[in-house]
Structure 1
Amino acid sequence: MRVREKGDRGVVQSVVLFLGVSVLSGALAAGLAIPFAGLAGFTTEKTHETLQDLPQELKTAPPARTSKIVAADGSLIAYLYEQNRVPITLAQVNPIMRKAIVAIEDDRFYEHGALDAKGTLRAMLRNQSEGSVQQGGSSITQQYVKLSLIAKAKTPEEYQEATASTYQRKIAELRYAVAVEKEFSKDEILEKYLNLANFGDGAYGVEAAARHYFSTTAAKLTLPQAALLAGLVKNPTGYDPTNSPKRAKDRRDVVLRRMQELNVITAKQATDAIRTPVYDPKKVNKVPNGCAASDYPFYCEYAYSKLLENPAFGPDEKSRAHYVKTAGITVKTSLDPKIQRAAEAAIKSKSKPADTTIAAVTMVQPGSGLVKGMAQSKPYGDGTNHTTSYNYNVEKTYAGGYGGFQNGSTMKAFTIAAAIQQGIPLNYRINSPSPIDLSGVKFKTCTGTTSDPDYHPKNSTRSGDLTMIEAAKASTNTYFLQLSQRTGLCAIATIAAKLGMRDAQTLQPLQQVISMTLGVDNVSPLMLANAYATFAARGKYCKPLAVTSITSAAGKPIKTPGIDCNQALEQPVADGVNRVLHEVMGKGGTGNRLNFGPSDLAGKTGTIQDNKAVWFSGYSSTMAAASVVADAKLPYTNLMYGHTLNGKDIADPSGSGTAGPIWEAAMRAALKGTAETHFVPPSDKTIRGDVKDLPFVTGMSVQDATNRLQGAGFQVTVAPGQVDSQEATGTVAYTSPRQRDGAPEGSLVTIYISNGKNGQQPPPPPTSPQPPNPPNTGKPGGNPQCPPWHPKYPNCGGR
């Protein structure tokens, strides 16, 4: 008997609760509620507090929408979403779909207010008899409220509160539903509900569901299709046809019979629809999500990382990622499909995923910084089957960024720029033997000096008395080491920094060590290609740019960083660098085999110590690219031993022979069909340099020569050891630069000391005046009696 009384009391509480919320919703006539007013005491204190404390209106968040990243031509790169949703208006929904959802979820939707009194009472009585919430009975308006509260939840606690199986939540939903019914029409509520509902298998909203399950639109849904979707909202996972076709069909048929019972459709229509297959697996259109599903996953991740740097999307990375994946924005990038295909084809033709090395190339547009393409030999993946999640083209600070490799002699381009900037001429000669002893020699840095107590660098190519152009063509190490001593490392580091060169692992400035011109720290192909693009753009540096524009779901522009350029180098300096690196592509240059087409090309090879990575970076006036082949597994090992590229053993790794062909293939395809371009010739001043005359010191004692040079405003250093010369032992054999070439004011002049072994005597003076002989250029036709060059004998070439 006691149990029965307890049960009766529970039923009465449910009825009172139902009547209380009914009054709130306006669903019942006032007179109907009056006879039960005395039962109000059965409501709980918590219910009373809930009713009193609820706000008067529902504040909703915009429904999460699918965003997308597109290429420069508008073609799709990737979809980004937390919920795959494409919001539409109710007018874009087939009327049969509207009728199906109303029939199965709330057939009296257009007749009652926020609450369906009959349905709610039936559910509450059953729930009370079961001791828990077993049946919904919620109106479409209440369901919309619940979905809105779930969508707005930002924490696990808020989500739990929005989905809790309690009467307090139901009452809260009802109070919000009353507010919604006051603010919106029934059609507006139904539209919002259809756009917000979960239809299973990652499809949110009726439009996304129609596209996903049937490859159609909400406007073109058929009766059986509409019935299937209407049945899904009750249990999106359980009734998902891609998971359980039989359960999905059973549920769909329930909807169809309910529509028949309500006279929405005829018995024949219901029967015909029931006989149709539940769905066609071939028409299921799974919308890929994220960069991993993109045709360009590495570029996509780079662009996505740039989005996460945009403060317009939120105060931190987490909130920015949420915004990007829910705001329905369209992100346009600089990726050019033609150039991307060129990069990919070059990689594919010159390497294989199974190689023990990696190959990568990045292509950048000079004068804008637009990153047009990037490709690499290892496909995107989890590391199995020769895949990788590392992007070998970008810095470590970006998603998956590997962080680069030491760039070898491609650093010499920045030394050339520093020299030209200081007025050093392109024909500046330095005696460049191999090896050379630079032990203890001081190199100026931005904070002082640096040296190496035991440093004997060698050349792997040409040695001798070379000009800057000759040394660049041969990539002569000892020349550029001495040139970097004259310019100072600070000047090189400053120019490199202005052109965006940083340590790709840490983004810290490059180290100022004496071997800096031969390669320092790790740099990425993107970084190097963009720096060389600055030379192509006549000194105009532009920050690398992947995201060019962003538009909202409404089609309005969203602020994003655009093209950002500055004149980092004076144009004459860049023109001089272009001339020198253009000669590298000419006859006798390390890039000669890579030269092609009518347009001017410039470039530089790079090989790091022990051949652990090889580079080629080069450009035309309209496109720049940097390619690298490297060992990407620690510890790095020599590419010559046990490494493969394009399925073959690497016998002789080099910048021109290994990385160069990738660069050439990519550039050749990218420039195909484009207009012929040429570099602006350097000025005569750039070629000849901003120099002053050097005093004649040959044959003098070292001290006298030093005093005389310093008195003329030059710095002086003495080369170690002695050289073959006809001058007396211990006196000055010659200087570098030569007297005939002059030197920039205040620059460093190196004195070479004679060993007296080359005792060639000058010819006897003429007995009568004769016209001077032409200068001895070392070419056929010169006077064989003249020494190569000597200011003592003006008739043999003079200065």
Structure 2
Amino acid sequence: MIMFIVVSVLSGALAAGLAVPFAGFAGRGTASVADTVQSLPKEFQSNPLAVRSRILAADSSLIATLYEQNRLPVKLTQVAPIMRKAMVAIEDSRFYEHGALDLKGTLRAMLRNQSGGSVQQGGSSITQQYVKMSLVEKARTAEQRAKATEVSYERKLAELRYAIAVERELSKNEILERYLNLANFGAGTYGVQAAAQHYFRTSAAELTLPQAALLAGIVKNPTGYNPVNNLSRGTARRNVVIKRMLELGVITVAQANQALRTPIDLAKVEPVPNGCANSRYPFFCEYAVSKLLANPALGATVKERDHYLKTGGLLIRTSLDPKMQAAAQASIAKHTKPRDTAVAAITVVEPGTGLVKAMVQSKPYGNGRYHTNYNYNVEKSYAGGYGGFQNGSTMKAFTIAAALSKGIPMDYRINSPEQIDLRNQRFRTCSGWTRDPTYQPKNSTHSGDLTMVEAARYSTNTYFLQLSQRTGLCSIARIASHLGMYDAQSIKPLDQVVSMTLGVGYVTPLMLSNAYATFAARGKYCKPLVVTSVRDKAGRPVPGPGFDCKQVLPRQVADGVNRVLSAVMMPGGTGGKLRFGTRDMGGKTGTIQQNLAVWFAGYTPNLAAAAVVADASLPYTNLMYGHTLNGRDIADPTGSGTAGPLWETAMQGAVRGLPNARFVAPPRKMIGDPNPKPPASDKPGTKPNR
């Protein structure tokens, strides 16, 4: 019996304090055991720790935490000495005295377990436990996890061989540091720092004796000894640790008694929300994550990128401005209610950078009634993206840019009757010509002999249809494309149809606000940017899309568009009632045929925003019939009266504190004659005298 015990202890087979009959091991072939030991590598390679990643707003406030294991590694010097002592006392009191295997501890545990007929005491050293946890951490499949946790002599021998390698490579303090950072402390927390934050809202460095004893006790059974799951059992386990520390002389009787009397305060338990669904800004957060998952620098596949995002300890900074986000959210709160049948959405973008500053919508995030998982601000190619709405007369801005680019001045007059017959009228496209055999559009606002500025102010359909015929649809389409406009449902270019200038395809608030931001930036287009930087856990930058800007319109053309759209914000213009303060502003309304959606897009020189109110159900229905906004029936949906107030309230708060910048005046030639003569003919397609 003595010889058997000596051989078994030296081989490490009883290192866990086995509770099986002695014959269980005696029956194993010595050759099999030897082969297992000899086949093991002499060095132990552990995987990098899975560390939680954080997504931050532009002001460094936390947006969301992403993790598979909630862990925040710390150095041993950042762990309170009492925590280190508590862990060693309960798990391996002779840790600093023995090697990879504690012969005395293992023999004592084996004899106690054998005499009791069950596992009452463990014999694994902290080093062996660290190896086991590391092997489980490395497992990626169910088969690998089963292999890492199976009850077998081969596994225990493997762990011992690895433990010996670890003890040769690392100091005791290095092993303890890794152990404390790797251990499971229950409730989804891994590592002593995350556990200290979760259970006590403190750091590992500030842990007290009763706190340290509780955490040290949890590791043996992270579910069973978690005080949130079972307070009495968690308290009893904590007290076992305290008594063990007293038994070892680590603490005094007075310290022990005081710690034993200290109640566990569950009110301090602070779960760390995981993922965007638990974020203050879930829709923006999910869009940022979608952009990260498209970055090949984070992994070869989406699955690898997702894993790295949740385990790489990344520090992700975004463009979101909490002040502007709050202003946009306040607008939603003021003008909408979650129970409305219509939906509203607003995106705010910074001209000249493409930084997405705010993204809000009227339906809260979630699966419940009156909630949604759709993001109404972004394109359908993103997994949660709704894919936009028809944009109506906001397209006229691109027709204005096309006309000014072709040398047509702002005083260009076209007779624009209430209704115009465009049946079979030819419109040039990039590939030829198009026509509509039945098209006879009407105005919903001002008609008459109008200049470009007047037509923009009143949003006169028949003027812009004739103007688009003269510029050609191809030039409008190209400018819109250069400004980031495409169909948000199909992700294809906008259709070049006769009615293009009155709205075409499906666009998003993000897309439209960023396109209008290009006018504000004097023709410099920047791709929308939500993730501004990513750093790994070592602080090294991770490559990714950054600022991507280029001049897509001549500055003077953009200046001209700004002048024309400024007229919209003047008294008598469709956006005149939305103007506030003394800032320069440009804007444009958009109302979809049959009132399926209404828009207002507008900007100052340093901020742009687009707001939409729409029916997001299928099939789409007229907003005038059976739809509510802010708890009231929508009697007369318009871009200025329905979507406009959302834009106004959001922008008023968002621009507060920004410089009062001014638009640059366009060339005199582009403005034209302040007192132009009326055109010689009002027939579509003819050139009036100027």
- The verdict on a shared fold, with TM-score over 0.5 as the criterion, is yes
Distance 2:412 2:79 in 1: 77
After superposition, what is the alpha-carbon deviation per residue over 1:4-39, rounded to whole angstroms, capped at 9, x for unaligned? xxxx9xx98786444334999xxxxxxxxxxxxxx9
Distance 1:218 1:676 in 2: 48
Give the letter for the 2:470 counterpart: R
Give the letter for the 2:408 counterpart: I
Other-structure match for 2:98: 112
Other-structure match for 1:508: 492
One of 396, 401, 416 as aligned partner of 1:432: 416
Distance 1:262 1:308 in 2: 51
Other-structure match for 1:710: none
Matching of residue 311 in structure 1 with residue 319 in structure 2: no
One of 613, 622, 626 as aligned partner of 1:629: 613
Other-structure match for 2:19: none
Residue 588 of structure 2: SS of its match in structure 1? strand
Q: How does 1:391-540 map to 2 (within 5 A)?
A: 391-540=375-524
Matching of residue 298 in structure 1 with residue 298 in structure 2: no
Other-structure match for 2:22: none
One of 581, 586, 591 as aligned partner of 1:607: 591
One of 52, 57, 80 as aligned partner of 1:66: 52
Matching of residue 238 in structure 1 with residue 238 in structure 2: no
Distance 1:135 1:494 in 2: 76
One of 539, 544, 549 as aligned partner of 1:555: 539
One of 156, 180, 188 as aligned partner of 1:170: 156
Residue 366 of structure 1: SS of its match in structure 2? coil
Distance 1:144 1:358 in 2: 53
Distance 1:469 1:361 in 2: 27
One of 254, 273, 281 as aligned partner of 1:288: 273
Unaligned segments of structure 1, at least 5 residues: 1-7, 25-38, 690-695, 699-731, 742-799
Residue 411 of structure 2: SS of its match in structure 1? coil
Other-structure match for 2:76: 90
Distance 2:495 2:110 in 1: 74
Question: Any conservation in 2 of the 1:582–1:602 contact (CA below 8 Å)?
Answer: yes
Displacement of 1:558:
2.6
One of 351, 355, 360 as aligned partner of 1:375: 360
Displacement of 1:738:
4.1
Question: Any conservation in 1 of the 2:54–2:62 contact (CA below 8 Å)?
Answer: yes
Question: Any conservation in 1 of the 2:411–2:451 contact (CA below 8 Å)?
Answer: yes
Other-structure match for 2:175: 189
Distance 1:85 1:370 in 2: 31
Bigger relative CO (Cα 8 Å, ≥ 6 apart):
2
Residue 662 of structure 2: SS of its match in structure 1? coil
Distance 1:231 1:403 in 2: 51
Displacement of 1:611:
0.3
After superposition, what is the alpha-carbon deviation per residue over 1:718-758, rounded to whole angstroms, capped at 9, x for unaligned? xxxxxxxxxxxxxx8867544422xxxxxxxxxxxxxxxxx
Unaligned segments of structure 2, at least 5 residues: 16-24, 674-678
Question: Any conservation in 1 of the 2:529–2:546 contact (CA below 8 Å)?
Answer: yes
Distance 2:672 2:119 in 1: 91
Distance 2:6 2:500 in 1: 85
Displacement of 1:383:
3.0
One of 238, 246, 252 as aligned partner of 1:260: 246
Distance 1:160 1:454 in 2: 71
Matching of residue 360 in structure 1 with residue 309 in structure 2: no
Displacement of 1:242:
0.6
Displacement of 1:519:
1.0
Displacement of 1:123:
5.3
Displacement of 1:132:
10
One of 11, 33, 40 as aligned partner of 1:20: 11
Question: Any conservation in 2 of the 1:428–1:737 contact (CA below 8 Å)?
Answer: no
Displacement of 1:125:
6.8
Other-structure match for 2:194: 208
Other-structure match for 1:142: 128
Give the letter for the 1:350 counterpart: H
Residue 558 of structure 1: SS of its match in structure 2? coil
Displacement of 1:620:
0.7
Other-structure match for 2:624: 640
TM-score normalised by L of structure 2: 0.93
Alpha carbons of structure 1 residues 461 and 200: separation in structure 2 relative to 1, 3 Å: same
Other-structure match for 2:646: 662
Distance 2:207 2:154 in 1: 38
Give the letter for the 2:199 counterpart: Y
Q: How does 1:580-599 map to 2 (within 5 A)?
A: 580-599=564-583
Question: Any conservation in 1 of the 2:8–2:14 contact (CA below 8 Å)?
Answer: no
Displacement of 1:285:
1.7
Displacement of 1:512:
1.5
Question: Any conservation in 2 of the 1:430–1:737 contact (CA below 8 Å)?
Answer: no
Distance 1:520 1:219 in 2: 60
Alpha carbons of structure 1 residues 47 and 14: separation in structure 2 relative to 1, 3 Å: farther
Q: How does 1:728-743 map to 2 (within 5 A)?
A: 736-741=685-690
One of 254, 261, 273 as aligned partner of 1:275: 261
Give the letter for the 1:232 counterpart: I
Distance 1:15 1:522 in 2: 78
After superposition, what is the alpha-carbon deviation per residue over 1:214-247, rounded to whole angstroms, capped at 9, x for unaligned? 1222222222211111110010000000110011
Other-structure match for 1:348: 333
Give the letter for the 2:60 counterpart: G
Question: Any conservation in 2 of the 1:431–1:736 contact (CA below 8 Å)?
Answer: no
Give the letter for the 1:104 counterpart: I
Distance 2:259 2:451 in 1: 86
Displacement of 1:652:
0.4
Residue 557 of structure 1: SS of its match in structure 2? coil
Displacement of 1:271:
3.1
Distance 2:316 2:68 in 1: 16
Distance 2:240 2:197 in 1: 23
Question: Any conservation in 2 of the 1:133–1:165 contact (CA below 8 Å)?
Answer: no
Residue 479 of structure 1: SS of its match in structure 2? helix
Distance 1:669 1:136 in 2: 62
Give the letter for the 1:740 counterpart: N
Other-structure match for 1:5: none
Give the letter for the 1:78 counterpart: A
After superposition, what is the alpha-carbon deviation per residue over 1:648-681, rounded to whole angstroms, capped at 9, x for unaligned? 1111000000000111111112222332222111
Other-structure match for 1:718: none
Alpha carbons of structure 1 residues 532 and 333: separation in structure 2 relative to 1, 3 Å: same
Alpha carbons of structure 1 residues 149 and 506: separation in structure 2 relative to 1, 3 Å: farther
The number of equivalent residue pairs is: 676
Percent of aligned pairs sharing the same letter: 65
- Greater shift after overlay, 617-626 or 109-118? 109-118
Give the letter for the 1:625 counterpart: A
- Greater shift after overlay, 198-207 or 160-169? 160-169
Alpha carbons of structure 1 residues 457 and 517: separation in structure 2 relative to 1, 3 Å: same
After superposition, what is the alpha-carbon deviation per residue over 1:700-722, rounded to whole angstroms, capped at 9, x for unaligned? xxxxxxxxxxxxxxxxxxxxxxx
Distance 1:110 1:122 in 2: 18
Distance 2:470 2:7 in 1: 95
Displacement of 1:41:
9.9
Distance 2:211 2:56 in 1: 31
Residue 48 of structure 2: SS of its match in structure 1? coil
Alpha carbons of structure 1 residues 253 and 177: separation in structure 2 relative to 1, 3 Å: same
Displacement of 1:130:
10
Other-structure match for 1:726: none
Distance 1:463 1:134 in 2: 92
Alpha carbons of structure 1 residues 465 and 136: separation in structure 2 relative to 1, 3 Å: same
What do you get for the CA RMSD once the two structures are aligned? Answer: 2.5
After superposition, what is the alpha-carbon deviation per residue over 1:558-579, rounded to whole angstroms, capped at 9, x for unaligned? 3232211000111111111111
